């Protein structure tokens, strides 16, 4: 019956197994949705939209990846990374829709954080990119952008919720003449630290617990395992540096959304 349906839709046989696997994965998604609903975590809609959007995006990306990887012009390659960074910043905005001014703070952070580290790596030839620039720079840049996006989202979310929950402490600091930066430095520091923690865990257990995708992909692609391992360490350092730069820039810019020019807190109290 099922095969008839595929035949009716004229789906080539090579895709049938793939679609069946995708459908089976939806069972896992359904379980995830049930658990989040049961626990009242409230991310069900985001998960569904994310799955649909993510599937479309990744299929399109897979289809054009072969052309992107073939790119050799550095300007065009960094243009692609810029587009990815803009999209990452837009994603932070949509995930934190209750908070104003997110993209104004995350876009410069992600752009500068990810692209400056990538450009430095290219300029110093830390990675051997000349043979196939697109193949190296775009996936590595994507990893940096993804991590910058994750950390900047966390920093903004934490800064905003701390300003709501710890309002009296924040105003105590301001009342003593602290600048917005001084008043929030502790929560910024904490959020950067906790945002980097998952990657620090992966870094500490590298090769024993976590077998990272970049290294696995390179080994599968026929690269010398030693070289692949060194690349993995390099990418971790790049991730930490870019995420740190991005979060510092973002937190600095986001202070403008939390305080006005008189250093008065403009974050509203939490909604009950």
Q: Which residues bind other proteins (CB under 8 A)?
A: 168-169, 171-179, 182, 186, 262-265
User: For residues 2 and 179, which CB has a smaller minimum distance to other proteins in the complex?
Assistant: 179
Between 45 and 262, CB nearer to other proteins: 262
Residue 210's DSSP bridge partners are 206
Rounded distance between C-alpha atoms, residue 140 and residue 150, angstroms: 16
* Tokens representing residue 178 in the block: 């602290």
Minimum CB distance to other proteins, residue 259 (Å): 9
Which is nearer to other proteins, 77 or 174 (by Cβ)?
174
- Cα–Cα distance for residue pair 195/127, rounded to 1 Å: 26
* Residue 194: Cβ within 10 Å count: 13
Length of the chain in residues, anyone?
272
Cα separation, 207 vs 209, whole angstroms: 6
By beta-carbon proximity to other proteins, the closer residue of 232 and 251 is 251
State the nearest-atom distance from the C-beta of 49 to other proteins, in Å.
34
The answer to whether the CB of 165 falls within 8 A of the CB of 265 is: no
> Rounded to the nearest whole angstrom, what is the least distance from the CB of residue 266 to other proteins in the complex?
11
Instruction: Yes or no: say if 95 and 160 are a contact pair by the CB < 8 Å rule.
Output: no
Nearest approach in angstroms of CB 184 to other proteins is: 12
Residues near 130 by Cβ (< 8 Å), separated by ≥ 6? none
| Cβ distance to other proteins smaller for residue 178 or 206 | 178
Comparison of 179 and 224: residue with beta carbon closer to other proteins: 179
Least distance (Å) between residue 260 CB and other proteins: 9
**Which tokens sit at 83?**
């587009």
Closest by CA to 74, choosing from 13, 5, 133, is 133
Q: How far is the CB of 155 from other proteins (least distance, A)?
A: 19
Identify the helix (H) or strand (E) that includes residue 25.
Answer: helix 13-38
């Amino acid at each position: 019956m099922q095969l008839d349906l595929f035949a009716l839709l004229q789906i080539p046989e090579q895709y049938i197994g793939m679609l069946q696997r995708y459908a089976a994965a939806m069972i896992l998604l359904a379980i995830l949705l049930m658990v989040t609903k049961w626990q009242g975590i409230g991310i069900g809609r985001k998960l569904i939209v994310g799955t649909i959007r993510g599937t479309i995006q990744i299929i399109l990306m897979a289809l054009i990846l072969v052309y992107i990887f073939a790119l050799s012009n550095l300007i065009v390659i960094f243009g692609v990374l810029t587009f990815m960074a803009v999209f990452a910043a837009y994603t932070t905005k949509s995930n934190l829709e209750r908070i104003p001014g997110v993209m104004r703070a995350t876009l410069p952070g992600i752009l500068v954080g990810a692209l400056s580290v990538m450009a430095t790596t290219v300029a110093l030839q830390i990675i051997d990119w000349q043979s196939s620039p697109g193949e190296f720079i775009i996936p590595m840049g994507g990893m940096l952008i993804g991590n910058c996006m994750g950390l900047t989202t966390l920093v903004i979310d934490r800064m905003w919720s701390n300003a709501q929950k710890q309002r009296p402490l924040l105003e105590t600091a301001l009342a003593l003449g602290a600048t917005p930066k001084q008043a929030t430095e502790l929560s910024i520091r904490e959020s950067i630290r906790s945002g980097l923690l998952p990657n620090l865990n992966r870094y500490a257990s590298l090769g024993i617990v976590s077998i990272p995708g970049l290294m696995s992909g390179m080994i599968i692609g026929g690269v010398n395992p030693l070289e692949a391992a060194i690349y993995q360490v390099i990418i971790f350092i790049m991730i930490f540096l870019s995420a740190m730069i991005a979060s510092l820039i973002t937190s600095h810019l986001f202070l403008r959304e939390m305080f006005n020019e008189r250093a008065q807190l403009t974050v509203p109290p939490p909604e009950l």
